[in-house]
C-alpha cells in the first residue's frame, strides 16, 4: 500500500498491525536509513537475543531468494518478534520480497531499504499494490521539512536561531537527512547549549564551494550564457550536488525576480535586497542587470518548469536525475539568450 506523505510520520510513530513489510525507497539515503532505524526500534525490543534481528543484503537474497523467507520464519531464541532488515538494489531483491510476502510468518516484520529505485520500479509497484506492505518514499526535505528538522535538533540543545540563519540553513541543506542532521548538530556544538545561532555563523560554518557554484550557475542561466552554464554545471556534477538543491536555489532566485515586477508594470530592482539569504556579491550585479530584461511571463514560465521538474524528480520519474535536470536548465538558459544582455 502506497503511503501518502501526510501519513508517513504517523506510520513511523505507530506502525499498523496489518503492515508486516515496510518498503523504504527514494533519493534520500540518509532519510531512508533514519526511518529504517525508527521502524526497527519499534519491533526489535529484545537486545539480549541476537537472533531476533537479522540484516541481509540484496546480493545474498538475489543468489538465494528463499534465504529471506527462511530468515523471517526462524524462531527467536527468547521468543518475541522476528525482524529482518534487507538493504540493497531493488532489482536483486524483487523475487525474494514477493516470495516473503506470500510465505513469511505474519508475526515477523521485514524492513526494506531499496536503493536506485523509483515509483516505476517493479518492486515499488508490487509493494504499492499489497495491503500488508507499507510503501514509503524517501525524498529530500523541502523547506518546511528541513525547518522542522532544524527546530527538533535545536530544541535538544536549547538553541535559538535568527530568521536569517534559518534561511541560510534551508538554502544549503536538505539533500540528505543524515548529512543535514550532522550539519545542524555541528552548528549547535559551535554555538553551545542555550545559545543563539546567527546568520553570520551559519554562513561561515555551512559555506562551501558548491553553494557559490550554484549561484554562479543561476547567474549563467539567467544571463543566457551557455558556455558558463556548461562549466558550472559540470563542476556541480563533480561535487555530487543533488539536483533538488540546484533547482530550489534557482527557483528562489526566480521568485525574487517575480517580486520585482510590480502591478503597475514597472520593475523594482530594490526588492532583490529582500532576498534571504542575500545574493552573493559576485552575482548580484548580474542579477540586477538581467531582472530588467526578463518579461513577467518568461519568469512565470521558468518557475513552472522548475516546479514540474522538482515534482518529477521527487516521484522518481525521468531516469538519470542529473541528466534530466541539466536538459531543463539548459533549455531555460537558451531561452534567456533572446532577452538577456
Domain ranges of the chain: 5-137, 143-206, 209-336
Report how far residue 203's alpha carbon sits from residue 186's, in angstroms, rounded to the nearest whole number: 13
Determine the pLDDT at residue 205.
Answer: 81
Answer positive or negative: Cα dihedral of 30, 209, 275, 325: negative
Say which residues have a Cβ less than 8 Å from residue 212's Cβ, sequence separation at least 6.
280, 282
Determine the pLDDT at residue 257.
Answer: 83
Query: Residues 5, 145: contact at Cβ < 8 Å?
Result: no
Q: Which CATH number fits domain 5-137: 3.40.50.1010, 3.40.30.10, 2.40.50.140, 3.40.50.300?
A: 3.40.50.300
Determine the pLDDT at residue 77.
Answer: 67
Which stretches in the chain have pLDDT values below 70? Answer: 46-51, 77-79, 207-211, 262-264, 274-282, 316-319, 340-341
Look-up: residue for cell 536506485?
A: 116
DSSP string, 280-301: PTTTHHHHHHHTTTS-HHHHHH
Asked if 5-137 and 209-336 have one fold, the answer is no
Determine the pLDDT at residue 86.
Answer: 96
Report how far residue 22's alpha carbon sits from residue 132's, in angstroms, rounded to the nearest whole number: 9
CA 202-27-253 angle, to 5 degrees, is 45
**Would you state the torsion angle of the CA atoms of residues 54, 57, 61, 62, taken in this order, to the nearest 10 degrees?**
180
Residue range 237-285, pLDDT digits in tens: 877 777 888 888 888 888 878 878 766 677 777 777 766 666 666 677 7
Query: Residues 334, 302: contact at Cβ < 8 Å?
Result: no
Query: Residues 77, 52: contact at Cβ < 8 Å?
Result: yes
Closest alpha carbon to 114 in 16, 32, 52: 32
Determine the pLDDT at residue 339.
Answer: 76
Cβ atoms within 10 Å, residue 220:
23
Query: Residues 296, 254: contact at Cβ < 8 Å?
Result: no
Report how far residue 204's alpha carbon sits from residue 202's, in angstroms, rounded to the nearest whole number: 5
Give the fold, CATH level 3, of 209-336.
Zinc Finger, Delta Prime; domain 3 (1.20.272)
Determine the pLDDT at residue 315.
Answer: 75
Cβ atoms within 10 Å, residue 324:
16
Answer positive or negative: Cα dihedral of 71, 118, 239, 281: negative
Q: What are 112's strand-pairing partners?
A: 23, 86
Amino acid at each position: 500500500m502506497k503511503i501518502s506523505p501526510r501519513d508517513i510520520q504517523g506510520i513511523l510513530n505507530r506502525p499498523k498491525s496489518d503492515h508486516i513489510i515496510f518498503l523504504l525507497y527514494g533519493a534520500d539515503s540518509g532519510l531512508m536509513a533514519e526511518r529504517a532505524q525508527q521502524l526497527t526500534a519499534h519491533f526489535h525490543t529484545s537486545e539480549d537475543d541476537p537472533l531476533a534481528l537479522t540484516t541481509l543484503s540484496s546480493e545474498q537474497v538475489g543468489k538465494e531468494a528463499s534465504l529471506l523467507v527462511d530468515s523471517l520464519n526462524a524462531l527467536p531464541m527468547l521468543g518475541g518478534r522476528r525482524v529482518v532488515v534487507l538493504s540493497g538494489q531493488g532489482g536483486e531483491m524483487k523475487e525474494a520480497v514477493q516470495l516473503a510476502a506470500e510465505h513469511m510468518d505474519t508475526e515477523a516484520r521485514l524492513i526494506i531499504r531499496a536503493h536506485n529505485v523509483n515509483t516505476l520500479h517493479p518492486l515499488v509497484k508490487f509493494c504499492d499494490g499489497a495491503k500488508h506492505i507499507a510503501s514509503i518514499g524517501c525524498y529530500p526535505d523541502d523547506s518546511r521539512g528541513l525547518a522542522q528538522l532544524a527546530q527538533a535538533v535545536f530544541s535538544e540543545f536549547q538553541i535559538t536561531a535568527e530568521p536569517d540563519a534559518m534561511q541560510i540553513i534551508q538554502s544549503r541543506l536538505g539533500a540528505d537527512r543524515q548529512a543535514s542532521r550532522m550539519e545542524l548538530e555541528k552548528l549547535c556544538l559551535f554555538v553551545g547549549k542555550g545559545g543563539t545561532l546567527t546568520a553570520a555563523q551559519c554562513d561561515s560554518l555551512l559555506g562551501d564551494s558548491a553553494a557559490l557554484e550554484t549561484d554562479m550557475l543561476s547567474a549563467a542561466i539567467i544571463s543566457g550564457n551557455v558556455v558558463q552554464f556548461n562549466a558550472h554545471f559540470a563542476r556541480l556534477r563533480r561535487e555530487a550536488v543533488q539536483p533538488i538543491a540546484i533547482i530550489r536555489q534557482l527557483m528562489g532566485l526566480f521568485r525574487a525576480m517575480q517580486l520585482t515586477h510590480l502591478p503597475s508594470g514597472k520593475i523594482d530592482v530594490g526588492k532583490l535586497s529582500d532576498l534571504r539569504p542575500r545574493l552573493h556579491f559576485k552575482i548580484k550585479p548580474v542579477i540586477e542587470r538581467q531582472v530588467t530584461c526578463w518579461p513577467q511571463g518568461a519568469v512565470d514560465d521558468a518557475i513552472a518548469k522548475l516546479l514540474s521538474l522538482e515534482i518529477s524528480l521527487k516521484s522518481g520519474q525521468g531516469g538519470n536525475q542529473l541528466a534530466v535536470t541539466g536538459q531543463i536548465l539548459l533549455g531555460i538558459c537558451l531561452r534567456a539568450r533572446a532577452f538577456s544582455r
